[in-house]
Amino acid sequence: MRCPHCGNIDDRVIESRTLANGGAVRRRRECVSCGCRFTSYERIEEKPLMVIKRDGRREPFDRGKIEAGLERAIQKRPVSQMDIELLVNEIEDQAVISAGLGREVATNIIGEMALEKLGRLDKVAYIRFASVCRHFENLDEFIQEIKRLGDKSDKTSSETVG
């Protein structure tokens, strides 16, 4: 560390203390040259989670965008704000795990995570979100998605009965 008083880079650590539940370390230092005492802080610098857009651009992960999309999908549906908050937390956690050490995840993967969770929560919200996320080209694609969702519901209900 460079001494703030004389600029010398030789110092010694007098005291170290852990802060923020282990997220930071505070160190009291003393300059070997002039004796000036000063404090330094060390923190882990995390690389932010980046989202790879369809056109190849990268931007920082924004949980607000996911929340806004989910809120549009569940508009006028019997889904609580707490349910949305839980969904967003689950999606964010899953996205971080999916991104791994590279800390990058594609938007379509995030969209599929959201669809999976919405499908269990509310079928109408699922279809609304899927219509945006999957970019249906025509009515047939939309109808096929509804049938596929119906087939999943039939399998799930027969598994719980049997």
Q: What is the pTM of this model?
A: 0.62
Of all residues in the chain, what percent carry a pLDDT higher than 70? 91
| Parent domain of 36 | 11-43
In a domain, 84, yes or no: yes
How confident is the model at residue 156, as a pLDDT? 52
Q: Are residues 38 and 54 in the same domain?
A: no
| DSSP state string for 109-132 | HHHHHHHHHHHHH-HHHHHHHHHH
Looking at per-residue confidence, does 29 or 148 come out higher? Answer: 29
In a domain, 80, yes or no: yes
Contact predicate 30/15, CB 8 Å:
no
| Whole-number Cα distances in Å, 15 to 6, 29, 35, 73 | 21, 7, 15, 54
> For strand 104-106 and strand 58-60, is the pairing parallel, antiparallel, or unpaired?
unpaired
Q: Which tokens hold the place of 29?
A: 């230092």
Edge-to-edge strand ranges of the sheet holding 11-19: 11-19, 24-31, 37-43
In a domain, 116, yes or no: yes
CA distance 73 to 65: 12
User: 119-139: per-residue pLDDT in tens?
Assistant: 888 888 888 888 777 777 777
Domain count within the chain: 2
In a domain, 62, yes or no: yes
Element (H, E) at 18: strand 11-19
Query: Residue 28, exposed/middle/buried by CB under 10 A (0-12, 13-18, 19+)?
Result: middle
